[in-house]
Structure 1
Amino acid sequence: MSLKWLILPFFSMSMMFIGATPPFKCADGFDANATYASLPAAAQRCHPPNASAACRRWVFDRSVYESTVVTEWALVCGRKPLLSLLQSLLMLGGLLGAVAAGQLVDRFGRRPVFLPAMLLIVLMAFTSALATSYALFAACRLLSGLAMALMIGSQYVLVTELGGIDQRARYSAFTLLPFPVGTALMAALSYAVRNRRLLQLVYAVPCLALLPNIWLMPESPRWLLMRGRPTEAYDLLQLIRTPRMRRNTLVSAFVWFVVAGAYFGIAFDMTQLSRQPHLAGVLLGLLNLPCILYFPIIDRLGRRGPTAACLFLSAAAMLVIFALSVSMAFNILFAYSPEYMPTCARAVGFGVCQVALRLGATVSPFVVDLVSELQASAPSAVFGAATLLAGLATLLLPETHGAGLPDSVPGS
């Protein structure tokens, strides 16, 4: 099941490369065989020479990227919002999947939700590589986001419930371990393969390794036991039933929103600012690798304190240190949040956190694109201030170190 985290960056982070915008010039009024290098250096980007009309034909610099979705469907100038829409559709699918996962996983079990979503993500991986139209590719992004959220919502709750009190943090850490490896691998593959369709086909092939889960994935014993208690309601109301649960739910959503926004925002900011975006992507993955091995820290010091400390450090740091500390906070949250959610609403609660994650990830590229126009370091300042508030909010959450998983709301 952990192999899923190796593959997820191929979907969630790959737009840094398959959606990259190389230098371009307007080719209207020039020869049909004109290339980027053959046009004058002063050629306009969005308007023909000596005209105010919008450009209809572009040529791109192919020295770094042979093809991307930008070059394939000319997503520049007035069509640039269509590029942003592709990332937004992935997050929209994630929002829908996170909402659905909370209800489906608690009602039908962890395994019956994970396996169909797994098959969908495999199908979308190959369909994306073969897509010849923008509309089909956009639909694949939406369904990929939906499948990713369903897989995360079901599998991570299962991992939490399979581990005992002393093993939960270790299980969580090793479950997430492939993600930074996948991030570095995604960037390395994009360096080796510069053609968009071929690159996505390369991304799709490892997805086939998920198929053995059809035979190997177990169901949660804790969920099977709780299924025989009809008095427990599997719905969102469990998360707001008591003042303590309301506080935990709202604080969790806020912290996940900020951490996801900061993590993805810094990731996109690093690759955009770097002259070597592929190298920056590899380094981002390698920098996150030590952050996965957090379980000795939270087994000794608890969950709440280290999470808040990482967020405070993120608020005071810039770029590399920021990426390290916010990544560690992100990883701890995956282990921490399900531990104070009751079994009768654990998947719903984790689904709320995933919704907040998707919202944060959706907002972060806009923060980078819009705020960076004011000042190059402005995005880091915005994310730093947000993580400071998130660190303070984390102190309101309960400590779960050494405690059993609550099965009902009164135990939360």
Structure 2
Amino acid sequence: MSTEDAIETVIGRFGKYQTWILFLISLGRFPTEYQLVNVVFILPNAEFVCMDEEAYNMTNYCPCKNPQYDQTYIVKSVTTNWDLICEKRQLASLAQSMLHVGILGGSIFYGHLSDRYGRKLACLLALFCEVLFVALSAAVPKFWMFVVFRFLIGTAVGGSMLCCYVYVVELSGKSFRPYLTALMEISYLVSYFTLPIIAYFLRDWRHLQMATSLPWSFVLFYYFLIPESPRWLLTTGKKEKAIEVLTYIAKKNKRSTENIRTVVDKIQEEANSNNKEQFGSYLDLFKTPKIRTYTLLTAFVWTCCAFTFFGINQYIGTLQGNLYLNVLLSATSLLPGVVLVLFASLYLRRKIGVVTSFVVASLSLLVFMFIPKYMDSVELVFAVIGQLGVYTAFTQIYLFTSEIFPTIVRNSAMGFVSVFARFGSFTAPFAVNIGIEWVSITIFSVSAFIAACLCYFLPETKDSVLLNTIEQTEKSGDRKV
């Protein structure tokens, strides 16, 4: 099989037009990114003074019918709006967890939608639903309604994270894909930096939700601005439409359009598609030996990755001081991880980069266990190293997984493994709450090490052409070039 990316030869590895698409997608994802990091502002642990007669002026006293909340940083939040304190505190946890439940459901739904009806539809629907559901969540009068919309917000979060990433990957050439691991993090980092600034001026949670959603209503116009993925069009037998899209992109990038039909014919010949419509499904992930093996391996890797990531986060204490400044500092701590991911994607093989990140996380946690309690700063350093290790692994595993699976089931595969990542994030708190710290840390360290071992059995994909069909994947060896 040719190691040349035929689509890259037509439209370029990442020209001006792909840059424009990346800008649109990154801009449109801001409401999604805000929802991933805004919990500290809309669902905080509220401090209060009880004004009941039997507990007058007592701080955080329970039960309390007449709490007076501390408004130093946040004037109104979901917590204070519906008095989610004392015996209702678990309802705040429910509202937080519903976002992750929604992400799980959205990963399944949008993964199938994208493979069956196209990348463009799935991306547009997820981006617009995010705007719509966030705005509606700010207008509801009842807490149960907020919980419902929190779930719906999560479905759109899962869909936009999954589909937008695959969409941009499929528009790029193989030689540019390593840069996407860092470029796709830009919207997350910028939103992380700007959220505390917006929250500083809008200290009512309803206003904050509106401000981080409604201005992005322009994503509706993306219908006229972004094309369908030509790789998906070719895989599903829509030859003429694929030629039309490739010709349009090539012209925008000022490249020759003379041999596009010949290139398309060659791609279809290699894929043995015979110009027939083909659509993938979740069942296709288990029908053939290699795809089935890759599906199970990546699912367990994503589970271990999410489990370790959210587990480590539990051990990094919240910073003292100004809330808004603390969030800015937290965002800053992720910058080295993005640089490391870019370096690993460019200069290391996929398996080496991912395995190294997991091993660093595992070893740092082992060291963490033997640090004396009075050495707080040293503990923090190794906890942050562990967090960076698993963060870089998480970022790289997105690209690695998208390269392993063929176009016909790429989004279904990403959706399936994202579901297992949610299982990891759900179970992490239970491991943290075991009550014996060294046991919990050991579990997370072993989890990271298991993920590293499982990655060894996955195919190498660095500098490989994105395969389109299951048949191509089954016939391919370890795709090293």
Q: SS of the residue aligned with 1:281?
A: helix
Q: Structure 1 80/64 Cα, relative in aligned 2: closer, same or farther at 3 Å?
A: same
Amino acid in the other structure paired with 1:46? C
1:207 positional shift: 2.9
Amino acid in the other structure paired with 1:15? V
TM-score normalised to structure 1 length: 0.86
- The worse-fitting range, judged by mean Cα deviation, of 74-83 and 272-281 is 272-281
For 1:280 and 1:56, the matched residues in 2 are separated by 31
- Among residues 13, 23, 46, which one is paired with 2:37 in the alignment? 13
Q: SS of the residue aligned with 1:130?
A: coil
Aligned residue number for residue 306 of structure 1: 353
Contact 1:184 1:285 in 2 (8 A): yes
1:197 positional shift: 2.1
- Among residues 292, 295, 312, which one is paired with 1:246 in the alignment? 292
1:40-51 paired onto structure 2 within 5 Å: 40=58, 45-47=61-63
Cα RMSD (Å): 2.6
Amino acid in the other structure paired with 1:308? V
- The worse-fitting range, judged by mean Cα deviation, of 181-190 and 341-350 is 181-190
Aligned residue number for residue 391 of structure 1: 452
1:101-125 CA deviation, whole Å, 9 max, x = no partner? Answer: 2221111001112212222111122
Contact 2:315 2:383 in 1 (8 A): no
Q: SS of the residue aligned with 2:212?
A: helix
For 1:307 and 1:140, the matched residues in 2 are separated by 35
For 2:343 and 2:452, the matched residues in 1 are separated by 21
- Among residues 168, 174, 178, which one is paired with 2:187 in the alignment? 178
Q: Structure 1 261/195 Cα, relative in aligned 2: closer, same or farther at 3 Å?
A: farther
In the alignment, does 2:57 pair up with 1:39?
yes
For 2:41 and 2:307, the matched residues in 1 are separated by 19
For 1:382 and 1:231, the matched residues in 2 are separated by 46
Structure 2: unaligned runs, 5 residues or longer? 1-24, 238-272, 365-381, 474-481
1:192 positional shift: 4.5
- Among residues 163, 166, 172, which one is paired with 1:154 in the alignment? 163
Q: Structure 1 96/215 Cα, relative in aligned 2: closer, same or farther at 3 Å?
A: same
Q: Structure 1 256/115 Cα, relative in aligned 2: closer, same or farther at 3 Å?
A: same
Q: Structure 1 391/94 Cα, relative in aligned 2: closer, same or farther at 3 Å?
A: same
For 1:269 and 1:324, the matched residues in 2 are separated by 13
Contact 1:125 1:207 in 2 (8 A): no
Q: Structure 1 27/258 Cα, relative in aligned 2: closer, same or farther at 3 Å?
A: farther
1:281 positional shift: 2.5
- The worse-fitting range, judged by mean Cα deviation, of 151-160 and 267-276 is 267-276
- Among residues 33, 50, 67, which one is paired with 2:76 in the alignment? 67
Aligned residue number for residue 109 of structure 1: 118
Aligned residue number for residue 100 of structure 1: 109
Amino acid in the other structure paired with 1:242? T
Contact 2:111 2:162 in 1 (8 A): yes
TM-score normalised to structure 2 length: 0.75
In the alignment, does 2:179 pair up with 1:133?
no
1:172-251 paired onto structure 2 within 5 Å: 172-208=181-217, 210-228=219-237, 229=273, 230=276, 232-251=278-297
Q: Structure 1 103/205 Cα, relative in aligned 2: closer, same or farther at 3 Å?
A: closer
Amino acid in the other structure paired with 1:22? A
1:381 positional shift: 4.9
Aligned residue number for residue 341 of structure 1: 405
Structure with max Cα Rg: 2
Q: Structure 1 296/63 Cα, relative in aligned 2: closer, same or farther at 3 Å?
A: closer
1:221-370 paired onto structure 2 within 5 Å: 221-228=230-237, 229=273, 230=276, 232-267=278-313, 269-270=315-316, 272=318, 274=320, 276-293=322-339, 294-317=341-364, 318-368=382-432, 370=433
Q: SS of the residue aligned with 1:74?
A: coil
Q: SS of the residue aligned with 1:2?
A: helix
Amino acid in the other structure paired with 1:363? T
For 1:81 and 1:172, the matched residues in 2 are separated by 36
Q: SS of the residue aligned with 2:84?
A: coil
1:260 positional shift: 2.5
Q: Structure 1 233/202 Cα, relative in aligned 2: closer, same or farther at 3 Å?
A: closer
Q: SS of the residue aligned with 1:7?
A: helix
Contact 2:124 2:219 in 1 (8 A): no
Contact 2:49 2:58 in 1 (8 A): no
Aligned residue number for residue 17 of structure 2: none
Amino acid in the other structure paired with 2:156? A
1:57 positional shift: 3.8
For 2:395 and 2:409, the matched residues in 1 are separated by 21
For 1:406 and 1:80, the matched residues in 2 are separated by 49
For 1:216 and 1:326, the matched residues in 2 are separated by 36
1:90 positional shift: 1.2
Q: SS of the residue aligned with 1:59?
A: strand
Q: SS of the residue aligned with 1:21?
A: coil
> Share of identical aligned residues, percent?
29
